[in-house]
Chain A
Amino acid sequence: AQTVTQSQPEMSVQEAETVTLSCTYDTSESDYYLFWYKQPPSRQMILVIRQEAYKQQNATENRFSVNFQKAAKSFSLKISDSQLGDAAMYFCAYRSAGGGATNKLIFGTGTLLAVQP
């Protein structure tokens, strides 16, 4: 079974600085998708960024980028120029590329990011 591990329960960053959130996963599959979701205090789950395992190029979305290391099964999220609105819980998630019942979204335990003004 696949697992997702986020080893940093809490992180803190100064406004305008850069922070990296870590995520590792375990799978025997070669084709899958990885996601970072943001959960602000409103509880709404918001997709931040996604990465296809078959793509070597790291995904980027404005100030958010990932460092995807497939061999190491690592998928970290870098937030540049941190803003107060970035304060939230961040979840790393894995989704198999297989169809049917294997196509579940599996989450890590989350990292709570605080942004200091």
Chain B
Amino acid sequence: DGGITQSPKYLFRKEGQNVTLSCEQNLNHDAMYWYRQDPGQGLRLIYYSQIVNDFQKGDIAEGYSVSREKKESFPLTVTSAQKNPTAFYLCASSIGGTKDIQYFGAGTRLSVL
């Protein structure tokens, strides 16, 4: 464990509220990713960033936003536009380029009050 830190471990969102999930890595990795995992399902890509100050939408970006102002940080905001936010959110990072092994954080479990 270690290298990629997600916080908080548990998060509760009220109706109409935006919440931000933190992801920090000290691996000096260029690329970072956010995935959503629903019970009994695989991981779906929300957003990814190959380099600082640049990011791309994944397969399910609607209702989410990200920023990549620092190499080590890639926060994810779940906006009020995301109507079904309850899920397990996983952040990952990789060296980048052709070095494609992704390492995961411990995850944040988001629930709606």
Q: Do A and B bind each other?
A: no
Give A residues with C-beta under 8 Å from B.
none
Give B residues with C-beta under 8 Å from A.
none
